[in-house]
Each structure stands twice: as C-alpha cells, then as structure tokens.
Structure 1
C-alpha cells in the first residue's frame, strides 16, 4: 500500500473540503416542513407587510392634529373589515393590529387621553402618524424577504408564513452512509467479552448529522479486505456522502485505504496535524 505522507493542518484540511465543487439538487417542499433546510433561491415578498395602515397601540385614532377634543364615533378591532370614513375632529377607539382609517392622522395611546361626557380629551397635541405603522413598513411587495443560502429556522418560517408563503425551494439534504470497521466492535445491549468494546463512533456521527441529512445509513464491516471494498462500494452507490470510521492506518488489518484505491477514489489528503489521532482521508 502506497501512502501519501504529506501532513496538512486542520485549517488546510477544512479548506480543501470546502473547495470541493458539488452540484446540489433542489426540491420544493411545504414551508411548515422546512425547518433546518437551506433556501435554494431568494424569497420575494408577494405582499406589503403590514398590508394596511396598522395601529401600533391600543387607544384612539384621530383626524386632526390641532385640537385636544374629538367626538368618538366608533371603534375598530384587529380583524374588522369595515372601513370607517373619519371626519375632521372625529375619533374612533382602536386596538393594536387594527386597520387605521385613511383619514386618521395619529393614534393616541389610552394613557395619553381621557373621556369626558362622551368626548375624547387629549392630554397633549399629537404628531403626524404617531403610533401608526405605514403600509409596507416591515417589507414591501417585490422586496427580498430571505436570500438564497439562508437557513430556515423557526423565526424565518414564521416570517415567511406571515407573507402568505406556503412552499419554498430548498437544497435537498444529502443521504449519508456511515461505514464502521473493526472486529473489536459490538452493539449496545450485548454483553462485552474479552477484547471487545462498544461501537460509539457511528452513534456519535449519526447524532451529529441527524438534522442535516435526508437519510443516514449505517454499514458494519469486519476487518477483511474484500468485505471492506464491497461494503464501501455499496455505501457509495446508495448515498451522496459516506463517512468511514476505522481501518485507515497502516496496520495489517487496516484495509480502507487499499479499498479506496481499488475503487479509484481520489485522495486529497491523508494525515491531519492534530492529536490524539492524525489519520484522516
């Protein structure tokens, strides 16, 4: 077995891996099922948010900025579809999230006003658009809501959902094969006998990849040249990526490197300058 003896640093190894060009497949899925996925295209907002002038406070929407007294003519709750024509020096009681009438110039918080004899009395003169969220303040039609490459976490999913988006195009998560080699390894639940240890690398890798892989397949193989080669070949045919644990040193029963050579797998590096183990391929 001819071994490449050049040792690389951890950073060099990571850089080498990151520079590998891989064609990523995409798929369209339901937004509600997209947690942890990566967007494969920009998401464009189909609506303004908010889609109407919206009250930011509980209080009163008023038409007029130069009076402290207003006639109360109605109320608007969040979700009300009625449109009130608010005349000069009129006010309506309004609640957070409700649509503000077109004629309203400001929303006065409850704590900054009082009601006397059925009329609204302001404690101070308001300013234009006080406590009113304008149409499209958060995002406007045609704006980029999220960018290609962004991860869809719960906050992102909630944001896209409020825009009425139900489907997203994401990168397909890879299927990963984990090949575990070694005669000394036994499964959990089996009583240890002399010379045996419990297999742990496969469980650790599976746990680490659980959120980032479409499918994870485990392959166990004894220290045998032919079995190692055929198992790796099978794993390669059934997965997008394979990880191999063990069998990579130069001992008499380390067969992974030879198996990779037989399968014409290109070696980018063999040793990584780190402790306690530096053999990686």
Structure 2
C-alpha cells in the first residue's frame, strides 16, 4: 500500500501524450496545440478604419469635398486631393494618400461637402497594417489550449488546419450482478447502476467524448473477455467495481491475465483504498472502487491527472486552495482523507454522509478537503487544503 503522493507520481510518470493529428480549426475547441504557429499574413492586411466617418489627409482644412466611398471589402478610388475626403465605414480600406478618419458625429454634411466641427488629431481612427499581428510573428505557442478566442484568431488569419494532440478513447467497464440500468424494474437485492453515467459525465467535463460503456457480471471468464476487448481498442480503461478482495472480485486477476502491468494497488487513503493503476503497451488502466463516492473521489484525484497528461496539458492537477475549517476534525484512521466539503471565500465545512457509498452530500459539495495521513487533529479555524471540484 502506497501513500497519495507516491500514487500521483507513478500516474504522472506513466501517462504520456497522445499522438498528434491534423484537425480543422473549427473543430479544435478544447484540444492542446501540438505545434507553434506563426502568422501567414499581416493583420489587418491593409490600413483600416476603426470608425464610421470620413477619411482625409490631415491638414489645416476643415471643409472637404466627398469624392468616393470606402465600405468594407469594396473601394477603388485612389486619386484623392488634399481638399477631398471619402465616406468610410468601420473595417474599410483606408487609401495610402489618406491618414485620418473623423467620426461622422463630428461633421456636418451638405450634399457632397462636409465640414468638420470637432477635428481629430492626425492619424486618429486608422488601424495600421499589421497592427494586431505582423506576418511571421508568433500566433500561438505549442501546448496552448484551444479556446473560442483562439479559434477566432486563427480563422481571421486564414488558418484552417492545425496539429493537436488526440484526445483518448475511453472505455468504462462496470461490474456487478446487483446492478440494474435506471428505468428498469428494480428487483430484490438489486440497485440502480449509476457509476457509468457519473463517470461518463465526468469525462465529458474534461473534454473527452469518445466513450463507450460495457457491463459485465461478476464472472471471471466474462471479465477477462471484456477487458481483453477494451485493452485492444481503447487508450484508457476505467473499471468500476470488482477490485477489492471479495470472492467475486475478479477484475485484478482478469487484468493481470490480459498482460496489464500492475503499477500500484491500494492507497493509504479513505475513501478509495482499493484503487488499481496499471498499463498495457500505451493503454492505461484504472480499476476504481465500486462504491460511488470512492469512484468519483478517485476520478478527481487520479484519473483526471492521467487524462490531462494524455491530452497534452501542462497543468494537470486540480487546483488547491486554503480555507479555514469551521469545526475541529479528528483523523484517527492513519489514512489520508478526502472529505466532501463546501467552501466559500473564507471557510470550508465538512459535510455529513462521508460514507464511500453515499453521493447525497457529494451532489452538493464543491470541494474535497484533503487531510494527510499524518495529520491527526485539525482545530477550528485552522487552514486546510481544499480541492475545488465544481
């Protein structure tokens, strides 16, 4: 049995970035960039008006004849004299012979003549060529998370495809004879299966959508066969249940039978002690406890880390913050604890129903309070570590 810090180190060392693929920019949201990108053009690619108004060559004159119009995407008249101006609109081309734009609100127009009643400074309201970015300047560095703004920026530079790290395909394998799908009749001794739904949503929250769920009875033969299939087709395999030491817990035996290397099994923590982490070739495997609160706690602390590393993220751990605990808490277990809690800007409260089988307070918790195995007592108003989860 190992400590939490050891488990995190082993997972980090054995979780590698996925292969690189080329993807359309408009489909790249949430991916990590696998290349450094430089601008293929100046942006804007021409001198551009930032206002609706009139463009002119700055001088002592205040009255100009209107000799043309420049609207976004359409202008032809380049021959403009000192006493002449053009009607211009936001985003439109500013001819080289003109250098200033006056807002239309600061002019009076009489047919084809304008008088400037509030004169701007020279060069006002004209965006220079390459003002935002110049050709061959850095656009985005490798390992950048692609956001909606990043997609917009790439698109405005005419970039249609980029190289990103693939996101893993994930299999969820749920074990247990007692499990019934929600919506079905609940027979005697049966419970509704919730872990696959919970884990699938948690995966989607990390940005993973290629997920397939498998159900297997507590039977060694079927468990071996299902895991063999998953190990050959998926990048990450999450097994729910069947990993403890009961007579019908076959998951560890089936994993080892299928050539999975055991990297650790059991952690000195509560909840989630019977956690298995292993690897076969490039496929990583987590066998999570079957109790829902244990499974979700292990997902946040351990699986989340591995997934972020495979996706190419530099920052892979959930954030940690400090809060003052509202009531004293004693740890007599000798284990590291992950307690469901609710925090605000100043303090954190330990919620009721800390059982590994209970999700009722987990559903309202917004953080996990981490108490190391060697901390026996936390006094009221003492600072503790909180891991935000929502």
Does structure 1 conserve the Cα–Cα contact (< 8 Å) formed by 2:49 and 2:94? Answer: yes
RMSD, aligned CA: 2.2
Picking from 2, 8, 15, the partner of 1:6 is 2
- Counterparts of residues 183-262 of structure 1 (less than 5 Å): 183-210=177-204, 212-213=207-208, 215-262=210-257
Question: How much has 1:180 moved relative to structure 2?
Answer: 0.8
Question: How much has 1:212 moved relative to structure 2?
Answer: 3.4
State yes or no: 1:166 paired with 2:186: no
Residues 171-194 of structure 1: CA deviation (Å, up to 9, x unaligned):
222211111111111122320001
State yes or no: 1:181 paired with 2:164: no
State yes or no: 1:114 paired with 2:99: no
Does structure 1 conserve the Cα–Cα contact (< 8 Å) formed by 2:17 and 2:165? Answer: no
TM-score by length of 1: 0.88
- Counterpart Cα distance in 1 of 2:228 and 2:256: 12
Question: How much has 1:21 moved relative to structure 2?
Answer: 4.7
Question: Structure 1 186/141 Cα, relative in aligned 2: closer, same or farther at 3 Å?
Answer: same
Determine helix, strand or coil for the equivalent of 1:71.
strand
TM-score by length of 2: 0.65
Moved more, 210-219 or 123-132: 210-219
- 2:74 corresponds in structure 1 to 80
Provide structure 1 residue ranges, at least 5 long, that are not aligned to the other structure: none
- Counterpart Cα distance in 1 of 2:269 and 2:103: 63
State yes or no: 1:30 paired with 2:52: no
Does structure 2 conserve the Cα–Cα contact (< 8 Å) formed by 1:178 and 1:202? Answer: yes
- 2:272 corresponds in structure 1 to 277
State yes or no: 1:143 paired with 2:137: yes
Does structure 1 conserve the Cα–Cα contact (< 8 Å) formed by 2:196 and 2:213? Answer: yes
- Counterpart Cα distance in 2 of 1:87 and 1:272: 81
- 2:329 corresponds in structure 1 to none
Provide structure 2 residue ranges, at least 5 long, that are not aligned to the other structure: 277-390
